[in-house]
Structure 1
């Protein structure tokens, strides 16, 4: 599970004040990293690194792609999904992609059997974040932004994502993830859940609804924690805990300039968009019952680019023919 703009100090097991019982239990049952890093402190570049095992500059990514971008993740790159599919894994991506919104760059052309989600960040739409709760037609609009779309496979299934749609994002994507597990529990699978939250503008479903603006970020984090718990429960229901490596982390640090709509970095300096620790050092929790001993804490550095070569070794897959920068961390 790859969430968006969550800070190092945003979950309980990292000293955060938000209640995150499922993530705290996941850490107690598995492994928590104190020094886990992303390759760049911004959306697209960080995601490209995670899925390819390469530093973003090797891939031609230097920041975040906007709706006007004509390029994306090169089809010649080998992704983590393709590595898994080479060993017969079913693959799916649900959530935010942000590696190119034109069809040749979408997940179904990068090794994923299924995709349902948004093409880029949830703020890349014409509605101004501060005005999304105004009546229809009254919201202040940002110039130069097209409507945000929802994509399934490589086709647009909803041409205009609304604020109400965004309120359903976390729950809807979680339900998709659970259905995928239910459908593929008797075969190997790779599931990539990339929640758009807690990237601004913040949205949360009614059952986690905040009672005040200052509570909104807290409510969003609670719903993400619920999502992780629902995925873990689905795995446990099918007796897959001992067969499944589960990873929870964030694409970069929090967007501090948004005040109480952004997260916190705990003891770390600065946040998203900076190369200080708060921008590139993120929470990371892993669970693999029976393989990872409960309650472990790793204080050695690890990066998102290490995940692809680590998974490749664990499943007996070949590394990509192209150069990668990550290293196997399973030894």
Structure 2
């Protein structure tokens, strides 16, 4: 048979053919970027990612974005083996002790677990990622202690504590001290030199946070902290109750060793390292004093300055 015989079917007609009407093009539109792996159904860690997102809901933020405000009744966390052990031994109130999984134990970790067990504090084994989130990226060395939100006293309670102990009142007030580590250091000095409590304003001031607990080395468990809505009003009430107010400021005109009121019922007000005492607080002080120092050092850290001043008050009272 001749090559090219017909197969019985009509040959396709060449020429213009009917298009799709744009259906293919429209089908490719609006799909957006390729989804990341964790959003796909086959992603092996999808459940873990979703769990972490639930735990962090409300806490995650974009780089550079403002940190969300912590609720006043939210718990705080102390991280680090020495700080955690010191806090437990000092009797700091605690809800739970978190220990990282597969942590290489040392004497501090074993002692912390033992003390927590003796005190009936819950022990929880968690991942290091979880500890990172709880401590907000601070160094925790595989252990963290959860403590409840601090229960602040009323300013008048600090005077009552001194009277109950039959002692001359000594109260330390903080004006513009915003670093929790400074608050913790001042609490440590206040405890060492016999102060009856700290007074802080409720706004624009460091509070009793995990950082303050850590720096205080547990002494905040034995020192009451009061909070006032208005610091100058609280100082005025202290003066009406018979206490003298001494302001500590680099621009003071009287050296701390020359102040004649150190043996009297006293409130020592510590200003910030940068700005010192605010104008209104300065006006409510009976004396504004300074720590004499060489000109090479313009100022002292607020915690160091408070320690030097409280030592001078304690030395004068012993004498």
**TM class by smaller structure:** under 0.3
TM-score by structure 1 length? 0.26
Comparing both chains, which one has the higher relative contact order based on Cα–Cα distances under 8 Å and sequence gaps of 6 or more? 1
